[in-house]
Structure 1
Amino acid sequence: MPFTIATWNINSVRLREGLVARLMQEEAPDIICLQECKSPVEKIPLETFRDLGYAYIAARGQKGYNGVAIFSKFPLKEIGAHDFVDLGHARHIAAQLENGVTIHNFYVPAGGDVPDREMNEKFGQKLDYVAAMRDWASAEKPEKSILVGDLNIAPREDDVWSHKQLLKIVSHTPIEVEGLGEAQNAGKWVDITRQDIPEGLLYSWWSYRSPNWDAADKGRRLDHIWATPDIANAGHGSRVLRSARGWEKPSDHAPVFATFDL
C-alpha cells in the first residue's frame, strides 16, 4: 500500500481551512499531519476535509494553542498521545494504519527567544521535551513507524540560511541540535528528507518578520519526516512545497512530503 504523507504546521486550522483544502485538492497526499491547529477537535472543520476524501482522523486539540491532527484517506486507528514533561499541551498524537505502520505526529515547543533555561522557562521546557522524546524512543524501541512534525529544530548547517549567524538563535543552538540528535539516535530514526536530498540548503520555514521572504530566503528546516530503519528504505520522493509559503494569508511553514512503498 504505497502512500504519500505530508506534514505541515498550519498555524490555525480554522483560519487556514481553505489552504488545507487547497493542499488536499492540488497535491492530494494520502495522509496529512497538521501541527499548531489552535482548535478544540470538535471545532476543526472536519466535514470540509471529509468531503475532500479524508474520512479518517486522529487528533488532540487545544483552544487557541498547539494541537495536532492526522487526516487520512486510508483507515487508521488512534493509539494514543503523550503529554511529554506534563505540560498539559496537545503536542503529540499517534495512529496506526491497517498495514501496521504507526504514525507519530509531533509539535515540539518553539522555545521562546532566549536560548538560556535560567532566563527563559520556555527554552528549558523545549530541551526537556526533546529529552523526553529521547527517553520514550529508547524505552519503546519503535518499529515500522514514521515520525513527522514541526520539531522546531534545524539540525544541520545546510538546514539554515547561515550556520554561523544562527548558532545563538533558538532552533539552531548546539544544545538543541545535540538534544534532537540524541532523540533521533535513541529511536534509530532515519531522516527521510535528507536520505532523499542529502546535500544542499533546504528550508521549510520562513519568518513572518521578513516582508520579502522569498527573495531574502532566510529559511530554516524545522519540519521533519523520520522513519524507523525497518521501513526507511521504502521512503522516497521527498520534497518541500515552497510555493505554499506564498499562498494568500499563509502559514510561515511549508508542507513537507515523502512517499512510502509499503
Structure 2
Amino acid sequence: MPFTLATWNINSVRLREGLVARLMREETPDVLCLQECKSPVEKIPMDQFQALGYTHMVARGQKGYNGVAILSKLPMQEVGSQDFAALGHARHIAGQLENGVTIHNFYVPAGGDKPDRAINEKFGQKLDYLTEMRDWFHDDRPEKSILVGDLNIAPREDDVWSHKQLLKVVSHTPIEVEHLGQTQEAGNWVDITRQDIPDGQLYSWWSYRARDWDAADKGRRLDHVWATPDISNAAHSSRIRRDVRGWEQPSDHAPVFATFDL
C-alpha cells in the first residue's frame, strides 16, 4: 500500500493551524510529521485536522517550545519517545503503522549562535543529543523504519547556499556534519531526499531575517527524510514545496515529501 509522508517544522501549530489545514487539503499526505509545535498535546487544534481525515495522532508537547506530532490518516499506534541528553524537551515521538513501519519524528536542538560548546551551552546540548541518538541506533539497529524531522544540520556542500561562508555557522560546521553522519551511519539510514534528488542545491529553510528570502535564496536543507535499507528502495517522488515558505505568515521551513510503496 503506497503512502505519502511529509515533514514540516511548523513553528507553532496553533498559530499556523490554517497553514497546516491548507497543506492537508492541497497535498493530502497520508502522514504529516510536525516539529516545533510549541503546544501541549491537549491544545493541538485537532478538530479541523480530524475533519480533514487525520484521525490519528501521536505527539509530545510542551508549552511554548519544541514539540513533535505525527498526524495520520492511517491507523497508527505510539511506540515511544526518547529524551536524548536528558534535556526534558519534547523532541522525539515514534509511531507505527499497521504495515509494521515505524516512523520516528525528531526535532534536533538548533544549537544556538556560537559553534563552541565552551561558551555556548546550547551547542554542547546539540552535540550530546546527536551522540545519544547515534548510540541508541547503534545499540538497537532499526528495521523497517523511517526517520524524519528538523535535524537542524545541512550536511552536504550543496545543502547550503554557500559552503565556504557557512563552515563556521551553526548548522553546517564540520563537527555537526560529523555527528550527524555518525548518527546516520549507526542506524544505517539512507537519505531518501538525496537518493531521489542526488544533484544540485536543495533547501528547506530560509531565514526570516532576509528581506526577500526568495530572491536572496540563502537557504539550507535542515529537514530530512531517512529510511532503513530494507525499505529505502520503496521510496520515490521526493520533493520540497518551496512555495509554502511564501504563504502568508509562514514558517521559515518548507515541507519535505516522499512516497513509499509498502
Band the TM-score falls in, shorter-chain normalisation: over 0.9
Superposition misfits of 4+ residues, deviation over 6 angstroms: none
Name the CA distance, whole Å, in 1 between partners of 2:236 and 2:60. 28
Task: Report the counterpart of residue 156 of structure 1 in structure 2.
Answer: 156
One-letter amino acid matched to 1:31:
V
Matched, 1:107 2:123: no
Amino acid at match of 1:112: G
Number of corresponding residues: 262
Deviation at 1:211, TM superposition (A): 1.2
Partner of 1:23: 23
Aligned mates of 1:54, 1:212 — CA distance in 2 = 34
The aligned residue for residue 222 of structure 2 is 222
- Identical positions, percent: 79
3-state SS, counterpart of residue 19 of structure 1 = helix
How many Å separate the matches in 2 of 1:201 and 1:239? Answer: 13
* Matching residue of 1:56: 56
Q: Separation in 2 of the partners of 1:35 and 1:14?
A: 12
Residues 178-217 of structure 1: pairs in structure 2 closer than 5 A: 178-217=178-217
Structure 1 length-normalised TM: 1.00
Amino acid at match of 1:158: D
Specify the alignment match of 1:249 in structure 2. 249
Give the letter aligned to residue 10 of structure 1: I
**What's the RMSD between the two structures over aligned residues?**
0.3
Which residue of the partner structure matches residue 89 of structure 1? 89
Q: Distance in 2 between matches of 1:35 and 1:110?
A: 12
Match of 2:8, SS state, is strand
SS of equivalent residue, structure 1 residue 195: helix
CA shift, 1:207, in A, is 0.1
Q: Secondary structure at the match of 1:49?
A: helix
> What is the CA distance between 1:167 and its match in structure 2?
0.0
- Any residues of structure 2 matched to 1:100-139 within 5 Å, and which? 100-139=100-139
TM-score, reference length from structure 2: 1.00
| AA partner of residue 187 (structure 1) | G
1:84, CA displacement in angstroms? 0.5
Q: Which amino acid aligns with 1:203?
A: Y
What is the CA–CA distance in structure 2 between the aligned matches of 1:167 and 1:252, rounded to whole Å? 21
Note the residue ranges of structure 2 that are not aligned, 5 or more in a row: none
- What is the CA deviation profile of residues 60-92 of structure 1, one whole-angstrom value per residue up to 9, with x for unaligned ones? 000000000000000000010000011000000
* Residue 170 in structure 1 maps to residue 175 in structure 2: no
Structure-2 separation of matches of 1:127 and 1:211 = 31
CA displacement 1:209-236 (0-9 Å, x = unmatched): 0010000000000000000000000000
Gaps of 5+ in 1: none
TM superposition shift of 1:120: 0.1
Cα drift, residue 121 of structure 1: 0.1
Q: In structure 1, how many angstroms separate the alpha carbons of the residues matched to 2:62 and 2:120?
A: 23
Shift of residue 164, structure 1, vs aligned partner: 0.1
Q: What is the DSSP-based 3-state SS (H/G/I as helix, E as strand, rest coil) of the residue aligned with 1:118?
A: coil
